[in-house]
């Protein structure tokens, strides 16, 4: 039906998924800290609590760092910058994962000036292969998950650079259609339903 259609894996969905993996690294360390406290409690031992220069305890540091991991470094507040420095020094894996995510977000930036799709695609394809190899070499499970996600869907992800478009319009139309079906109690008479859709959306 749509001869020139192509599937784009939405840039924002990709970024959402890779940030979820980044957050998983942080959550893993927080779970480890909670486990240490449970063991100490079971043994009826006191647990030595560390307080960092910004006033955070270890658990507070890991919990309060959630927000800054969504942001680019130039978007951090002074407090978030201080927290990030402590977090990255204490947990190098979180630092590595964060910088890998930054590289992917940077990769999605379209080239400035005039450039053909073929040239852009070739450059981006070469760069993403390098990034995938780099991510796999980190030996961090969550970062490797990001690498395999991108590798598996690289063709559809690269389609983003055809016109720097996403699936947002198609998704919005689909939502409107679903709402239309619900309001009209389904679509048993297909011909009449398609006629009503045509009238409604034109």
The domain locations on the chain are: 11-163, 168-201
CA distance 162 to 118: 9
- Its pTM stands at 0.77
CA distance 164 to 115: 12
**pLDDT of 166 above 60:** no
Residue with tokens 């590595």: 96
Give counts: helices (H), strands (E), the chain: 11, 0
pLDDT for the residue 188? 66
Most confident listed range (3-17, 68-82, 114-128): 68-82
Q: What is the largest CA-CA distance in the chain?
A: 73
């Amino acid at each position: 039906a749509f001869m020139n259609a192509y599937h784009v894996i939405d840039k924002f969905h990709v970024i959402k998924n890779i940030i979820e993996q980044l957050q998983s690294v942080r959550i893993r360390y927080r779970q480890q800290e909670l486990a240490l406290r449970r063991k100490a409690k079971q043994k009826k031992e006191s647990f030595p609590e560390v307080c960092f220069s910004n006033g955070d305890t270890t658990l507070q540091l890991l919990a309060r760092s959630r927000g800054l991991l969504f942001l680019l470094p130039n978007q951090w507040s002074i407090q978030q910058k201080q927290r990030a420095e402590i977090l990255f020094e204490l947990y190098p894996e979180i630092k590595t994962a964060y910088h890998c995510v930054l590289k992917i977000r940077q990769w999605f930036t379209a080239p400035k000036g005039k450039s053909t799709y073929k040239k852009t695609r070739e450059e981006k394809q070469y760069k993403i292969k390098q990034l995938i190899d780099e991510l796999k070499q980190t030996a961090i499970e969550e970062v490797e998950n990001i690498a395999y996600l991108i590798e598996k869907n690289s063709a559809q992800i690269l389609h983003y650079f055809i016109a720097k478009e996403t699936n947002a319009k198609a998704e919005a139309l689909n939502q409107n259609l679903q709402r239309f079906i619900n309001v009209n109690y389904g679509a048993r008479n297909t011909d009449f339903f398609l006629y009503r859709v045509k009238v409604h959306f034109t």
